[in-house]
Homo-oligomer: A and B are copies of this chain.
Amino acid sequence: MSIHEECGIFGIYDPAGDCARNVYYGLYALQHRGQEQCGIAAVNNLELSCYKDSGLVGDVFSEPILEKLGGTMAIGHVRYATTGESRRENAQPLTLNYVKGSLAVAHNGNLVNTMALRREYEYKGAIFHTTTDSEVIAYIIAQERLRCNSVEQAVLHAMEHLRGAFSLVVMSSRKLIAARDPWGFRPLCMGRRGDAIVFASESCALDSVDAVFERDIEPGEVVWVCDGKVHSIQGPQADKSSLCIFEHIYFARPDSVIDGQSVHSARMLLGAILAKEHPIDADVVVGVPDSGLIAAEGYAKASGIPFADGFIKNRYVGRTFITPDQHSRELAVQLKLNPLRATISGKRVILIDDSVVRGTTAGQIIRLLRNAGATEVHMLSSAPKFVGPCYFGTDIPSKNELFACNHSTEEMRELIGADSLGFLSIDALEAIAPNSKCSFCTGCFSEYYPIPVGGEIE
The residues of A with any CB-CB pair to B shorter than 8 Å are 18, 21, 24-25, 28-29, 31-32, 50, 53, 56-59, 61-63, 66, 88-89, 94-99, 118-119, 122-123, 125-131, 139, 142-143, 146, 204, 207-210, 253-255, 257, 262, 264-265, 290, 294, 297, 301, 306-307, 309, 311-312, 314-316, 318-322, 324, 326-328, 331, 334-335, 338-343
Contacts and interface: CB of A to CB of B under 8 A. Distances in A.
B127 A31 contact: no
Nearest to A293: B309
A40 to B, nearest CB: 13
A128 B100 CA distance: 11
Given A129-B96, A255-B312, A341-B262, A334 B207 contact: yes
Contact of A125 (B143, B290, B321): B143
B97 A127 contact: yes
B264 A340 contact: yes
Contacts of A306: 301
Contacts of A61: 322
11 contacts: A28-B316, A29-B335, A31-B314, A31-B315, A57-B316, A127-B127, A207-B338, A255-B311, A255-B341, A262-B341, A307-B307
Copies of this protein in the assembly total 4
Given A28-B314, A32-B315, A127-B96, A63 B322 contact: yes
Contact of A338 (B127, B204, B294, B320): B204
Contacts of A96: 127-129
B327 A210 contact: yes
Nearest to A35: B316
Nearest to A261: B342
Contacts of A98: 122, 125-128
B58 A316 contact: yes
A294 B343 CA distance: 12
Contacts of A97: 118, 122, 127-131
A220 to B, nearest CB: 25
A208 B324 CA distance: 11
B29 A208 contact: no
When A and B form their complex, which 10 residue pairs have the shortest distance between CB atoms, in order from nearest?
Answer: A99-B122, A255-B312, A262-B342, A58-B320, A58-B321, A97-B128, A98-B127, A255-B338, A127-B142, A31-B316
